Structure formats: C-alpha cells, structure tokens
Amino acid sequence: MDKKDIVLKVGGSLLYSENQDINFDIMGKIKSWYVENKDIYWKFVMVTGGGTLSRSLQSKVGNNIANEQALHSIAMSVTQTSAELLGGFLGHSNIFIPRTLGEAYEYLLEDTPGTLVSGGLKLGWSTDMDAAVFADILFEKRIYKLSNIEYVYDKDPKKHSDATPIKDMTWKEYFDLFSITDTDEHQANHSLPIDKVSARFCRNKEMSFFICGGKNLMEKEGLGDILSEGTLIHP
C-alpha cells in the first residue's frame, strides 16, 4: 500500500443540529466516504469538534463556573464524546480513539495502517490545533476541514447578502481578514473558520487548510465532491 495519509477535521456543528439532535444524515455521508476510501490511506485521521452541543453546555454553565480551565475542560470533553460517537458510527474494528496526546502520537508513528478518530486532547487547544498537530506528525501539509460553511467569505454571509466567497488565500490574507495577531490566544467556542493559534501554527509550519462543507453537504451526494470545493488557505 502507498503510505499516503489524510487528516480530516469534522466540525461539531455538522454532528449536532441546533436542538442538539445527532445529524445522522451527514454522518452517513462521512461513513460512506470512509468505507469507500479507507483502504486508500495508510493513516486515516478524523478529528471531531463540539459544535452546538458544546456551545449550549457552555452557555448553561458559564455563569456558574468562573474557572476558565474548567470551562475549557468541559468543552474538550464534548469533543471527545463526538469522537466516540463518530468512531462508533463508522463501525470499523480498526479504529483507535486516543485518550491522550501521547497515545495519539504513538499510534500515528506505528508502521501499520489504521484509523484514528479523536476529540480534543490538550486544554487550551481547539480541535483545529489537534488536527494540525496530527498532520504535522504525519508530515502531511494539508488538513481538510468539514464545516458549516462552504467557503471563507470576505464578510459574514449571515449578515451581508453581498458576501463574496474566497476560494484561494494566503495565511497573511487570512490573518488580515480576521485581524489575527501573533499574540492572540485561543478562546473556546469562538467562531472562526480556523482558530487563531492553529492558524499561526500552520503558517509557521507552511501547512494548508482546505475549508469545505456548508450547503454542499445537502446539495452534493458524495463527500468526495464536497471535499473538492471550498477555500484553500496556504502559505
């Protein structure tokens, strides 16, 4: 087998609807694509977010828990639940769900093919960052991110009907668009296409993110087509 790998970040907003129901339709598309393609890749990596479930939980406990680290830990635990959910739904025996970064690191370095499905594993990181670090371990230069947006836009499309999609942009252009600086820290449940810390990591490592999904998840039949249409953010 050719030892090529793939790293896919699955936004939690795709796994859970606004009322916290599980979105089995989208998960079914992910599963179909996985079953069709799992033998193509040596290491098949999926990283799950927390989405609306995490944000809903944070809004309910945020006024009663002052400890920022505890809030981060709660948010991270939701992403790990997402990993268990997606890993179980995929239904393949060769799926590893790590509990620590060390476990993930050792698994990714093993000279055997396999699938890793992971939530967040380090307090203070977004799951974008977990995906970027896993890609770096594998020497993969591109991370695919399935999200609730089809593209990065020049302005918020929910507020501006004239928002224009950007299909190709550099990290510098991304930083300028979202006013990201080199001192910004990650804030749990803040909505950016790629979180600030992960964006800096990828810029410094000369890695790329491909953002895709949104309405294409409903309009296109196969995930392969969806993964070919979106925004590439690159060095």
Q: What is the pLDDT of residues 209-224, one digit of tens each?
A: 999 999 999 999 899 9
Structural domain boundaries, residue 118: 5-233
Total domains present in the chain: 1
Show Cβ contacts of residue 4 under 8 Å, excluding neighbours closer than 6 positions: 40, 41, 42
At 89-125, the pLDDT tens digits run 999 888 999 999 999 999 999 999 999 999 999 998 9
Q: The tokens of 178 are what? A: 């979202």
Give the pLDDT confidence score for residue 221 in this predicted structure: 86
Q: What is the mean pLDDT of residues 70-79?
A: 91
**pLDDT grade for 71, boundaries at 50, 70 and 90:** confident
DSSP letters along 170-210, please?
A: EHHHHHHHTT--TT----TT---SS-HHHHHHHHHHT-EEE
Written as six digits, the tokens of 117 are 């499905």
pLDDT at 167: 98
CATH of the domain at 186: 3.40.1160.10
Structure tokens of 176?
């300028």
Whether the pLDDT of residue 2 is over 90: the answer is no
Higher pLDDT, 155 or 67: 155
Looking at residue 20, its pLDDT comes to 86
pLDDT surpassing 70 at residue 189: no
Instruction: Please name the residues in contact with 126: beta carbons below 8 A apart, sequence gap of 6 or more.
Output: 49, 120, 186, 188, 195, 197, 198
